[in-house]
Amino acid sequence: MKKHKLEDRIATIHFDSGLQFRIDFLPENQLRWTSIREEDAGATAIETIHVEEYPGGIFSIDWVEEDGLCVSYTVDTSNHYVKSFMIFTDETYRGGRRPFVHEGPFQLILENGEPDLAPLQN
């Protein structure tokens, strides 16, 4: 049984900061992010995530990366949009941690890159 409605789905994100990702929602609360920007040469990692679903197709997806980067996505699947709040180490900033906010389109896709129009369901 699936743990959340995004499991086994794929998405692309194009943040206003210029960062771009393919997101694979894997079983057992795992997520693989892969940069799709040329300059990142396919940087990728698998993260353990915490997912909460709210009414209206809203999801909160959170994780902490190996280097301590904290990532929180608020995804509105109905409006195909994501907002991200990240916190990373920066000794020159208050408390030694710097926040970073960016947002942009969130699109569910099929493996071939076409839009995934199937409804979200468990």
What distances in angstroms separate CA 71 from CA 48, 101, 111, one per listed residue? 11, 10, 25
4 within a domain of the structure (yes/no) = no
Residue 1 has what pLDDT? 57
How many domains in the chain? 1
CA distance 29 to 1: 12
CATH of the domain at 52: 2.40.128.20
Q: Number of helices and strands (H, E) in the chain?
A: 0, 9
Q: Which domain holds residue 69?
A: 10-109
Residue 121 has what pLDDT? 82
Q: What residue has token string 């129009």?
A: 117
pLDDT digits over 44-61, tens only? Answer: 999 999 999 999 999 999
122 within a domain of the structure (yes/no) = no
pLDDT digits over 59-113, tens only? Answer: 999 999 999 999 999 999 999 999 999 999 999 999 999 999 999 999 999 999 9
119 within a domain of the structure (yes/no) = no
2 within a domain of the structure (yes/no) = no
5 within a domain of the structure (yes/no) = no
Q: Give the mean pLDDT of the chain.
A: 95
* Structure-token pair, residue 14: 């194009």
pTM for the complete prediction?
Answer: 0.92
Closest CA to 103 of 120, 79, 119: 79
Residue 27 has what pLDDT? 96
3 within a domain of the structure (yes/no) = no
100 within a domain of the structure (yes/no) = yes
Q: Going by C-beta distance under 8 Å and a sequence separation of 6 or more, which residues neighbour residue 114?
A: none
